[in-house]
Amino acid sequence: MASPRWTGACRLANMSYPAELDARGLHEWAARTVEELQRRRVEINALNVFPVPDSDTGSNMAHTMESALAEANKGEVDVAEALAIGSVRGARGNSGMVLSQVLRGVADATTDSRVDGAVLADALTLAVTLVDRALAAPVEGTIITVLRAAATAASQAAGESGAELHGILLAAVEAASKALAETPSQLPALREAGVVDAGGTGFVILLECLLAQVTGHAPVSQPLTRSVPLRSEESAAREPQAGEVLAEIEALFFFEGSLSDIEEALAPLGNSLVIARATETSASVHIHSAEAGAVIEKAYALGKVSNLRLEALPQAGQAASCEDSAGGGGTHRRIFAAVPEGAARELFEKAGADVVKPGEELQSAGEEDLFLPNGCGGDPGKATVIPTDSLVAGLAALSVYAPSSAQTDDVLAAMKDAAGSMRVAYPDRESVAGILEACRTQLGYGGEQITVLTGLEIEEEELARELGVDVVVLHVPGLRTEIGVE
């Protein structure tokens, strides 16, 4: 049962505020949330210490909500369903995946995009079920805990006589805020850093924006602060031992196929596995893995993959020096990549490479380091050259890089094989029709997958349908189109 305080709040709500939001109100709430997450993106990023301190939770949640709003702006389906579809397809990071399931819950709970108090309570409860199903290993003290607290409070408030949207929402906001404040007591990583959970913070902002939409007032949020991290015996005990390497790649993609099969295949390959369902046969998949090549290979073997995104995660600790390693090193190995100025540099940086200008001499490169010329030339210095004559071949080599392996020869062989198996072509015309023609010509020589690196706007799914093979399109503004066939 809800407390007398919430009973009174619900009765007051009946007199002062709308009993429901319609499709327009839901759309306006989404726009308001995008604006607020963008405004507080840096603030949320600064809280991000778990599961890895990559300072991108605010950016990920903002991007996920932007994708949701962009889909709703198309006006092709009702607002709630569009927000769910857009968020699942555009979800980034653990927090973005959870956010997408909250919006999926709203879509499944409502009719005609109308949200009243009962629908809100049902949506939050359903979201908890969806998130529990999506996460392979839920961790308390995160956005999951905050979401569960909000759902419980909303359900209790909805059971009160005369309860309506405003009072139920107030109960959810207060419970979520209280749960957020308690996250450091549940998760040592937060306690040591002196912060609350970043994803939970973003979720509270989402609810505050919904409350603001109902009341017509601007969201009122307390400023978030980050205290000086305190070291403890417990944290020292968890530090990586000498020689231990925790470098990983975050892999994110949209998958169509058997979700149980992809979950079973990927679970042994990493951690932070999230499968955020769009339908029973499609989902956004997220995983942190030191075996990104194996993850991608499994995914393509099991179903259709699109919107593939790879990003290097920061290492949790320093590895032993090359001189101290029993096998002669490999743990300090770096990958240099020659990449022209422009958006392509970001692709390689996110994939874990140290980007250098075409023709630049690698004076700082060591004997354990690797160099991807990518058709741009350059003096490798002491680094070992992996023959990549194009950017798309360089990305293929990076996709199978195993940063935790100290066996440099094995790493070299895998990367050279990936680059060598990529047949590269350039379309005669910089147009969608020109790309399609070039792809068909290349497939005439054989191939099962095509990667297109292009500055043109081209639909990945449409190209895949036309060609009848797996297609990955990477949009890089200002870049001459490169086509890689495997």
Nearest to 342 by CA among 480, 445, 472, 170: 480
pLDDT of residue 231: 31
pLDDT of residue 451: 84
Mean pLDDT of all residues belonging to the chain: 79
pLDDT value at 456 more than 60:
yes
The number of angstroms, rounded, from the C-alpha of 28 to the middle of its chain's C-alpha atoms is 24
Q: Indicate where the chain has its CATH 1.25.40.340 domain(s).
A: 20-215
Binned at pLDDT 50, 70 and 90, residue 135 comes out as confident
pLDDT value at 120 more than 90:
yes
Rounded Cα distance between 39 and 201, Å, is 13
Which residue's structure tokens are 């973005």? Answer: 96
Looking at residues 125-152, what average pLDDT do you find?
Answer: 87
Per-residue b or e along 38-60, where b marks 16 or more CB atoms closer than 10 Å to that residue's CB: bebbebbbbbbbbbbebbbbbbb
Looking at residues 318-332, what average pLDDT do you find?
Answer: 36
Size of the chain in residues: 486
Query: Cβ of 405: how many Cβ atoms within 10 Å?
Result: 17
Find the Cα–Cα–Cα–Cα dihedral 24, 30, 33, 34, rounded to 10°: -130
pLDDT of residue 51: 63
pLDDT value at 191 more than 60:
yes
Amino acid at residue number 473: V
pLDDT of residue 411: 79
pLDDT of residue 50: 67
Exposed (0-12), middle (13-18) or buried (19+): which is 21, by Cβ within 10 Å?
Answer: buried
Is the pTM of the predicted complex or chain greater than 0.75?
no
Residue 222 has φ and ψ, to the nearest 5°, of -75, 140
pLDDT of residue 136: 74
pLDDT of residue 81: 94
Binned at pLDDT 50, 70 and 90, residue 108 comes out as very high
pLDDT of residue 312: 66
Beta-bridge mates of residue 471: 450
pLDDT value at 343 more than 70:
no
**Token duo for residue 453:** 């690196």
pLDDT value at 486 more than 70:
yes
Nearest to 180 by CA among 209, 233, 144: 144
Query: Cβ of 106: how many Cβ atoms within 10 Å?
Result: 26
Binned at pLDDT 50, 70 and 90, residue 54 comes out as low
pLDDT of residue 247: 56
pLDDT of residue 123: 93
Higher-pLDDT residue of 145 and 419 is 145
Find the Cα–Cα–Cα–Cα dihedral 424, 426, 432, 433, rounded to 10°: -110
Q: Indicate where the chain has its CATH 3.30.70.1150 domain(s).
A: 248-313
Rounded Cα distance between 323 and 136, Å, is 39
pLDDT of residue 1: 35
Instruction: Quickly name the fold that domain 248-313 has.
Output: Alpha-Beta Plaits (3.30.70)
Rounded Cα distance between 375 and 339, Å, is 9
pLDDT value at 29 more than 90:
yes
Binned at pLDDT 50, 70 and 90, residue 405 comes out as low
Beta-bridge mates of residue 120: none
Binned at pLDDT 50, 70 and 90, residue 60 comes out as confident
pLDDT of residue 69: 93
pLDDT of residue 157: 92
Cα within 13 Å of Cα(362), Cβ side: 27
Return the minimum-mean-pLDDT range out of 26-35, 226-235, 370-379, 428-437.
226-235
**For the chain, what is the HEC assignment?**
CCCHHHHHHHHHHHHHCCCEECHHHHHHHHHHHHHHHHHCHHHHHCCCCCCCCCCCHHHHHHHHHHHHHHHHHHCCCCHHHHHHHHHHHHCCHHHHHHHHHHHHHHHHHCECCEEEHHHHHHHHHHHHHHHHHHECCCCCCCHHHHHHHHHHHHHHHHCCCCCCHHHHHHHHHHHHHHHHHCHHHHCHHHHHHCCCCHHHHHHHHHHHHHHHHHHCCCCCCCCCCCCCCCCCHHHHHCCCCCCCCCCEEEEEEEEEECHHHHHHHHHHHCEEEEEEEEECCEEEEEEEECCHHHHHHHHHHHEEEEEEEEEEECCCCCCCCHHHCCCCCCCCCCEEEECCCCCHHHHHHHCCCEEECCCCECCCCCCCCEEECCCCCCECCCCEECCCCCHHHHHHHHHCCCCCCCCHHHHHHHHHHHHHCCEEECCCCCCHHHHHHHHHHHHCCCCCEEEEEECCCCCHHHHHHHHCCEEEEEECCCCCCEEEEC
pLDDT of residue 390: 82
Looking at residues 110-121, what average pLDDT do you find?
Answer: 92
Find the Cα–Cα–Cα–Cα dihedral 58, 212, 183, 94, rounded to 10°: -40
Gyration radius of the chain over CA positions? 24
pLDDT value at 321 more than 60:
no
Higher-pLDDT residue of 327 and 21 is 21
Residue 138 has φ and ψ, to the nearest 5°, of -60, 145
The per-residue pLDDT for range 286-316, each reduced to its tens digit, is 888 877 778 888 888 899 888 777 776 655 4
pLDDT of residue 314: 59
Cα within 13 Å of Cα(171), Cβ side: 35
Rounded Cα distance between 21 and 3, Å, is 25
pLDDT of residue 2: 38
State percent of the chain over pLDDT 90: 22
Amino acid at residue number 17: Y
pLDDT of residue 296: 85
pLDDT of residue 146: 93
Higher-pLDDT residue of 164 and 231 is 164
Rounded Cα distance between 486 and 484, Å, is 7
pLDDT of residue 450: 84
Rounded Cα distance between 15 and 322, Å, is 71
Binned at pLDDT 50, 70 and 90, residue 319 comes out as very low
pLDDT of residue 169: 94
Rounded Cα distance between 204 and 175, Å, is 10
Query: Cβ of 248: how many Cβ atoms within 10 Å?
Result: 26
Query: Cβ of 351: how many Cβ atoms within 10 Å?
Result: 21
Return the minimum-mean-pLDDT range out of 128-132, 178-182, 186-190.
186-190
Binned at pLDDT 50, 70 and 90, residue 221 comes out as low
pLDDT value at 178 more than 50:
yes
| CATH H-level, domain 20-215: superfamily | DhaL domain (1.25.40.340)
Return the minimum-mean-pLDDT range out of 20-34, 375-389, 403-417, 442-456.
403-417
Rounded Cα distance between 122 and 395, Å, is 44
Highest mean pLDDT among 281-290, 319-328, 351-360 belongs to: 281-290
- By the 8 A CB rule, do 115 and 123 touch? yes
